[in-house]
Chains A and B, each alone.
Chain A
Amino acid sequence: MELMLQQLINAVSLGSIYALVALGVAIVFSILRLANFAHGELMTVAGYTLYATLLAGVHWLLAAVAAIAASVIAALLLERVAYRRLRSANPLTLLITSFAVSVALQSLFLLFFGARPKGIELPAFVDAGFRIGQLRVQWLDVFIIVITGLIVLSLHLFLKKTVIGLALRSAADDFRTTRLMGIKANAVVVGAFMLSGALAGIAALFYFATVPNVVPSSGFEPMLKGFIACVIGGLGSLPAAVVGGFLLAFLEVGSDAILSNSLSPYLDAIVFGIAIILLRWRPGGLFGVRMTEDLRV
């Protein structure tokens, strides 16, 4: 029973990280139809910022803010430098561009920080926890889950209740008509990239709190998981991204618990295999096409 609960907490906590990454990916995709593979590198930027600021002795709260700010700035730079000129290019070109940007950034990280892992000096409270009976709960997991819940809720309110949110939602539905309504295209796109960068930054904080070292390719794995989560849910829909993130985490934790030890190194392969089998039956993701019509946030 305790073990079950423990696994449940692990899964929800991991799912929160995946959901944040997937949300960041989905926001940009829904508006620009751009699969931003460089999303992982936004997380790596946050990771290196976290490493540098904590090493310099900055208070962790400031370091966290700096990390989020760094990935927002990086996202805006990417939009301005790489993607703006290509906005009307065909989707395949956009895809390759984002792939190239991701590779270029990884190479730059390698150039500036080297290939060796940089250990992040986490504050002590990350390891602290409390007990409920036999169950040991880490405060970190509680934080991750609660903050992710708050973010998803406030994002929902932002998109539903504010004019900018309305503009974003309508741009995701039909960019051209939105522009005809007098909404500035650049404002919408910059807004989407800011949100995406902020989500990447927060996801990076949580990710690097669980894996406390950063290498040039750190962002690849969470990026891939976030994308797979989006595809399982249905690419382009925000609720589907959140659901896909949690589903992927439950698959991962569940498979890990069920599998024998000899198979656990293959965990990623098995989880992706299950995801691919799911796509066999629902190529448009679990929510499929129906959701992209009327429920896309």
Chain B
Amino acid sequence: MAMSQKWWPRALIGSAQILVLVSLIVAGVSLLGSSTDQRILTVFLINLIAAIGLQIYTGTSGIISFGHVGFMALGAYGSALFTADPAIKAMGIPNAPDFILTSAMGFLPAMLIGVGVAAIVAAVIGRVFVRLGGSAAAVATLGFMVMVFTVLSNAEEWTRGAKAFSGIPAYTTMGWCMGAFAVILVIARLLRESDTGLGLRSSRDDAIAAQASGVDVVNSRYVMWVASAACSAVAGALYAHYIGAILPKAFHFELTFLIVTMVIVGGQSITGAIVGTLLITILAEALRRLENGFSLGSFSLSEAPGLTTAVLALLIVFTLTMRPQGLVGRWELDDLTMRWLAKRRPAASGAALPFEKDRERNPAA
């Protein structure tokens, strides 16, 4: 019975549940919210894609990456360079190669170029990063992020250097965001539930036991690494076409911190990434509104740019001291609903509890 259970229906059911929930949020805000709320919603969806992108790697391998914002930057610049109006490019980056200067592509092909560039870079450097774990991985990926930043800030012929690259067409709509989110959500869940993903998740508990059971840890990580870099690049492209002007500084320490926190505060599952993104977006927004609302002592808070981040960072430290495994831990939404259903009708199913599905599928582990 155990082996007959297929892995992919589970991924699809889980994705569908999450999709319904997120659609409800989006529909609610679109119908009831102000235009500010809609802007926040769009940024939320873009961050959500970035967080899921990172979670594809971190959630399965247990290794954090501070470098994925670098892939976002590649996706953003890749897509922006090929879509911007040639007339604007002729003024901003007159020395760029011809194929960039003359190109005026649609959103999808340009985004795919950005994603392709990020995936190629990830594939080239990935062999190094998948061998590193823990703090060494964190430091090395942070180094990669700074590398991308340095290159983008100095390649003035291509990117206008540290100055903003503007005139990017505003293609990003709610429809694009939801579409990209749905696709990436399904990809992420399929990867996670696949044998590669399952093996890798077992390696985060005990790498030696996993390897002894035939899990190819390094190659599994490599697959996840490239896939997660590509998904991050999608978020970057959506961001560029939403904001309309990008600069290297936008893809630096602050964004890295934001995305990484969303992933870690939420937990180790895709659901966790979503919960984390939701929580941090709400917190950041609430703090921003508070800032305009009152002043504290001699500080006029609207003139205190560091305060939101400082409070956010402290709240994160607080959350992690309370729940070190993240808000939802390792569980997905469908794990939780299945458990809830099984608890309500214990006699009806007779099957093993859904939490034991991993053991069922792989009796040796």
Bitwise, A253-297 to B at CB < 8 A (1) or not (0) is 000000000000110110011011101100111000000000000
Chain B CB within 8 A of A144 CB: no
Chain A residues in the interface with B (C-beta under 8 A): 29, 33, 35, 82, 85-86, 89-93, 95-97, 99-101, 103-104, 106-111, 115, 216-217, 220, 224, 227-228, 230-231, 235, 265-266, 268-269, 272-273, 275-277, 279-280, 283-285
Contacting residue for B128 out of A89, A269, A276, CB 8 A: A276
State the main secondary structure of chain A at its contact with B: helix
B93-101, B143-151, B181-189 - interface stretch: B143-151
Q: Are A235 and B310 in contact (CB under 8 A)?
A: no
**B81 in the interface, Cβ–Cβ < 8 Å?**
no
Interface residues of B in 169-208 (CB under 8 A from A): none
Quick check: A35 and B139 within 8 Å, CB to CB? yes
Contact A107 B146, beta carbon cutoff 8 Å: no
On whether the beta carbons of B154 and A104 are closer than 8 Å, the reply is no
A268 to B144 Cα, complex, angstroms: 10
Closest to B322 in A: A85
B139–A273 CB distance below 8 A: no
Contacts A103-B309, A266-B150 supplied; 10 other A-B pairs, CB < 8 Å: A85-B321, A96-B260, A100-B320, A107-B313, A111-B304, A115-B305, A216-B306, A268-B150, A275-B143, A280-B128
- The answer to whether B324 touches A100, judged by C-beta atoms less than 8 angstroms apart, is no
- Interface majority SS on B: helix, strand, loop or mixed? helix
Pair A99/B125 contact, Cβ less than 8 Å: no
Contact B306 A228 (CB under 8 A): no
Task: Please pick, from B125, B150, B154, B320, the residue contacting A89 in the complex, using a CB distance under 8 A.
Answer: B320
Chain B, residue nearest A221 (CB):
B146
Contact between A103 and B257, CB atoms less than 8 A apart: yes
Interface residues on B, range: 35 or more
Q: B257 is contacted by which of A85, A99, A110, A279 (Cβ under 8 Å)?
A: A99
Q: Mask for B124-137, Cβ within 8 A of A = 1, else 0?
A: 01011001101110
- Residues of chain B within 8 A of A275, CB atoms compared: 140, 143
Is A279 a contact partner of B317 (Cβ separation < 8 A)?
A: no
CA distance A105 to B305 in the complex (A): 13
A110 touches B305 (CB 8 A): yes
Check B290 for interface membership: any CB of A closer than 8 A.
no
